[in-house]
C-alpha cells in the first residue's frame, strides 16, 4: 500500500494519546522535582540548601536559577547556570532583591508568576553596570515561585530560560505547559520552605552579617 511521505505528520493522534512534547516537558518537570526534593530532605544547613537546590533545578528545566532566601540577618542568594559564566554569576549575586520587580512581586503576592515573553527588560533587575539582567542572560522567559515557610513567604526561586529553550508560559495544550511548570515550581517552593523551617528550628539560619551571597556552578566550589 502506498502512503504519502508526510503520513505520520498528517495522521491525527488517537484521543487520549499525549502530545510527545507535552509528555517530554512533564518528564523534565518531574525529574527536576525529584532532584529538588532530595536536596530539601538531605540539606544540613541553609547554605547547602540554597546552593544545591539551585544546581538541582538547572538543566532542561532552566538555564539560570536564582534562589533568594530572607531571614533575620538579611537576604541570601544562590545562583546556578546550565552553562556556567562565573563573571556574570558574580554580578547577579550583588543585586538587591527588592530591585527585581518580578521576584519581589511574587514574594509580596505570595503566588507564582511567569513572564513570557519578557517584554520589559527590567523585570529581573539591573546588573551593576546598568544593563538589564534579562539582556545579560539572553532571557526569553522567566518564572518565580515563592518559598513558603510556616510563618509565611521566606524567599523565592526564579527560573530563566534562554536561547532555544521552549519559553515558559501558557500555551495551547490541555492543560497548558505553563501550568505544569508553575505547579512544579510551587511544589519546589513548598519543599524548600519546609526544609528551611526544619533547619531554623535546629539553628541552621546564618547569623546576621554572615555570608550574604553565594554563587554555585557545576564543577566549581561554593564561595
Distance between CA atoms of residues 81 and 159, nearest Å: 10
Distance between CA atoms of residues 150 and 152, nearest Å: 6
Q: What is the pLDDT, as a whole number, of residue 13?
A: 52
SS3 57: helix
pLDDT at 9 over 90: no
**CA distance readout (Å), 71 to 54, 144, 209:** 18, 19, 11
What residue ranges do the domains of the chain occupy? 20-201
Q: What is the pLDDT, as a whole number, of residue 179?
A: 65
At 173-191, the pLDDT tens digits run 334 445 678 889 999 999 9
Q: What is the pLDDT, as a whole number, of residue 138?
A: 93
CB within 8 Å of 221: residues ≥ 6 apart: none
Give the global pTM.
Answer: 0.80
pLDDT at 170 over 50: no
Q: What is the pLDDT, as a whole number, of residue 212?
A: 42
Query: Confidence class of residue 23 from pLDDT cuts 50, 70 and 90?
Result: confident
- What 169-178 contacts at long range (C-beta under 8 Å, 24+ apart), as own/partner pairs, is 169/114, 169/116, 169/117, 169/141, 170/114, 173/19, 173/21, 173/22, 177/22, 177/25, 178/114, 178/116
Q: What is the pLDDT, as a whole number, of residue 198?
A: 95
Q: What is the dihedral of CA 126, 131, 132, 138, to 10 degrees?
A: -130
CA angle 204, 184, 41 (to 5 degrees): 30
At 33-92, the pLDDT tens digits run 999 999 999 999 999 999 999 999 999 999 999 999 998 778 899 999 999 999 999 999
**Is the N-terminal amide bond of 104 cis, ω within 30° of 0?**
no
Distance between CA atoms of residues 137 and 102, nearest Å: 15
pLDDT at 210 over 70: no
Distance between CA atoms of residues 111 and 114, nearest Å: 10
For the segment 100-109, the average pLDDT, to the nearest whole number, is 95
Query: Confidence class of residue 168 from pLDDT cuts 50, 70 and 90?
Result: low
Averaged pLDDT of the chain: 81
Q: What is the pLDDT, as a whole number, of residue 48?
A: 95
Residues forming beta bridges with residue 155, ordered by sequence position = 69
At 108-134, the pLDDT tens digits run 999 999 888 887 878 999 999 999 999
Q: What is Dmax (Cα atoms) for the chain?
A: 76
Q: What is the pLDDT, as a whole number, of residue 66?
A: 97
pLDDT at 219 over 70: no
Tell which CATH architecture fits domain 20-201: 2-Layer Sandwich (3.30)
Q: How far is CA 105 from the centre of its chain?
A: 15
Q: What is the pLDDT, as a whole number, of residue 20?
A: 73
More confident residue, 163 or 213: 163
87 CB neighbour count, 10 Å cutoff: 6
Contact 154, 189 (CB under 8 A): no
Contact 103, 90 (CB under 8 A): no
Amino acid at each position: 500500500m502506498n502512503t504519502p511521505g508526510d503520513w505520520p505528520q498528517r495522521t491525527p493522534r488517537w484521543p487520549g494519546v499525549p502530545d510527545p512534547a507535552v509528555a517530554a516537558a512533564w518528564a523534565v518537570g518531574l525529574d527536576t522535582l525529584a532532584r529538588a526534593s532530595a536536596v530539601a530532605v538531605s540539606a544540613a544547613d541553609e547554605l547547602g540548601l540554597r546552593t544545591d537546590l539551585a544546581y538541582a533545578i538547572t538543566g532542561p528545566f532552566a538555564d539560570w536559577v536564582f534562589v533568594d532566601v530572607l531571614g533575620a540577618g538579611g537576604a541570601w542568594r544562590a545562583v546556578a547556570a546550565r552553562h556556567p559564566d562565573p563573571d556574570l554569576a558574580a554580578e547577579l549575586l550583588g543585586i538587591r532583591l527588592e530591585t527585581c520587580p518580578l521576584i519581589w512581586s511574587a514574594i509580596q503576592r505570595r503566588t507564582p508568576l511567569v513572564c513570557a515573553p519578557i517584554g520589559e527588560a527590567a523585570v529581573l533587575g539591573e546588573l551593576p553596570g546598568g544593563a538589564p539582567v534579562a539582556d545579560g542572560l539572553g532571557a526569553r522567559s522567566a518564572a518565580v515561585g515563592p518559598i513558603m515557610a510556616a510563618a509565611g513567604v521566606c524567599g523565592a526561586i526564579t527560573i530563566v530560560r534562554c536561547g532555544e529553550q521552549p519559553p515558559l508560559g501558557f500555551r495551547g495544550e490541555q492543560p497548558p505547559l505553563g501550568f505544569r511548570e508553575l505547579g512544579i515550581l510551587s511544589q519546589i517552593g513548598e519543599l524548600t520552605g519546609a526544609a528551611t523551617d526544619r533547619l531554623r528550628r535546629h539553628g541552621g539560619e546564618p547569623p546576621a552579617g554572615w555570608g550574604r551571597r553565594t554563587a554555585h556552578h557545576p564543577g566549581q566550589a561554593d564561595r
